[in-house]
Structure 1
Amino acid sequence: MGRSPFGADMNEASEAEEAGVLIMLGVTVFGLLFANLSGFAHVWAAADILPLQTATPGVLDNLAWWLGQTFVSWTFNILLLVLFGSALALRHQGDGARGLGWMCLVGLVLAYLFWHGELLTVLAIAGMIAVPMQALSPATRWMTLTGLIGGTFLILLAGAGITALLPDTMGLADLLGLDPVRIAAIEAAHQSGFWARLPGNMAIALQFHLVELFFLGGGVLGLVLLGMELVERRFWGGDWPLMPLVFSAAAALGIGLPLNGWSALNAINAGFAPSQAWGGIAAHAVGAALTASGYAVLVVLAIRYRIAEPVQLFLIRAGHVWLSIHVGQIVFLTLIFSGVPGIALYGQLGPASLFALGLVLAGLQAGAVWAIDRWLRVGPVEWLLDGLACRHFARLRRD
């Protein structure tokens, strides 16, 4: 009987393929830290809208926001979806449905009690659908995932196109209902402590889940299926020919990063006017997907040529406990931004300050990976979900 996708026992692939997935998961869990910081620190729409993070951004704020939009925003969310599919494909089928059900429950608890932006719920639901689809023929799987990803991209384009029809006189406050008075009220609620904001957070979490399932769910499922197909074709182990990998990385990053950077600059130059947002949204959607694929190929090339092996070994450890680290991010960031009345940081930090905080938190996260690897046999969340799925809890601490 294989283990669930939450832990490290992924039995049906070569060691190289497993190592590739774990290393990329380790990279992704650090990228998600920076990608999600503004989602914890400000109102829900602020991650991609600079004026909602600070009313008077300075040069460093503009630079930090641009760097985030160019190198991490959306990109690591895409990578997480693909890698989750790869992790599913690397294990034997067995107790997966029950394990994914428990993961869905953990995601719901995190969303409704801590942070509405969690991805575990939609990941678990997509996994429940994707696992049986492995029985389909390869051609059917590829046509399905292509249609799902392409269809979701068209939905994004349609949504972006609607903004082009808005009058130039309509501002962000009119479109989002987040005028300064409303933002101040939200910030005050978060700064007053965790429980004071709970009902509002639950309402926002419900909205996010509806959007994720009904508008973006097809794309999520398509990316999970893509991750499974990459394992089937031995992508993560570096078995593909060298030159196609090199050229694909150069093309993906050479197109994706400029698209992301242009999208951010276009938003700044347009003053974040909703009527001018459609081109930037479309460019960012394409750019983030290309950037994610470029990052993945770079990691595969690094594995193939054993570049920075000590770093790779550390990232393997991080990949083993990615779920515990990700859940820990959600709980810890909720506490520091809105958990303690009087000292909560919600709405207090601009992009430059958030970037600096992210560097500190990345160091703390690295320490957490080291501590878990030293004293525990598996990450605590992986241990909990595996125990619930198998109805047996193994020893957590090392001897």
Structure 2
Amino acid sequence: MLHRLPRHYLVMMALAFLSTVTSFIFPLTAPIIMTMTKSSPTEVTLALGILGLIVGLSQPYFGSFLEKGRILAPFLLSVSGVACGLMVFVFQSSSLIMVLAGLLALNIGYGVYQTTSSIIGLGLIPSSLRETGASYFFLVVNLGLAISAVLAALFLTRWRDIMFILDLCTTLLAVFGVYFITLRKRHAITIRRTSNHTSYRLVFQTIYHHAPLMIGITLLFAGTHLAIMILPLYFEFKGLDTMRLTAYQMLLNTMIVALGTLVVGHWVDYLGRPRSACLSGLLIGSAFILIPYVEFRVIFFVYACLFSLGEVIAVRLGSAVFFDIFPEDRKGLASGTSMMIHSIARTMSPLLGLSLFHLPVATASYLLGVTFILGGTLLGYWYWSYSSEITLTSHMEHAS
């Protein structure tokens, strides 16, 4: 199936791997901020949540911007944001305000980069291959993150500055690569001279009409971000070996994702998308119920298996669907809305993660588990209810 994907998409996968294999800052952002600024887990999680929301709400605007053929400005914003944001970590500022400003710049730059990647990636491949493309892209990114986690566990303490600079260089290289691919593919992005008001109206109409989909994806991906962003904080809070456990989690996640990517398409086809979505929520929710016991190796392994399998299904069902519910000529809005929903999920994950620090961990883990099971149920309900109306928003676009 991989050979059926367009060449430019394979190049983007290679760039994503190059960027993530040396991504030593992003997966460990929360513990690094705690160490640099001596802040509490609550302060860090709230800051991450607010910044994620600010960035997320702006993504449809950047998507609409790209639809109009304005490629240079988003590219410069992405480069400057990534460069300024990562430089704050390279120079290890101890000021919380400076760190937050750098993190905001990094998130904006990375958000624009992801929106652009989504448009020319998933947006420009045949709809029949989008779920497969999303799954393989997710596999490549996870492989890169697993390798980076191992490298961080082995060498970050000793070679911190060099590794952070390497992270900066490879991320900028990926941004430049996506920019040049966008220049070559700009003819395939329909140029629309619609107002921002019209674009945002379409976005909110689509979100309202497909509310179960949006809420379900938000809750499910809040769980995936929680595992990446906040669990390292929880390990740190409990006095566990954060680097080692994060590396183990990434390695197990990658191995299971690699196996799951090969078979999950058959599972989804066999079970159907509604039941597959419910299964995804059940797996992720069950994994979080085991959080109080992850210090035991067997439980940690079971947790990683359940979470990773649920995540593979969630990515397949929740990444490419945005291009199906928007009109075909609004790829920018589809990509921007996708990034917005995922950013809102990233915002929710720190807020949900606060429960691990302020409630009994058993109570918090059950609440989180039920939340993510609810997300899978809502996504399954949407697939069951709206499968025949998946292009309904095209009528909204013509009406507006």
TM-score by length of 1: 0.36
Please tell me whether Structure 1 or Structure 2 has the larger radius of gyration of its CA atoms.
Answer: 1
More helix by share: 2
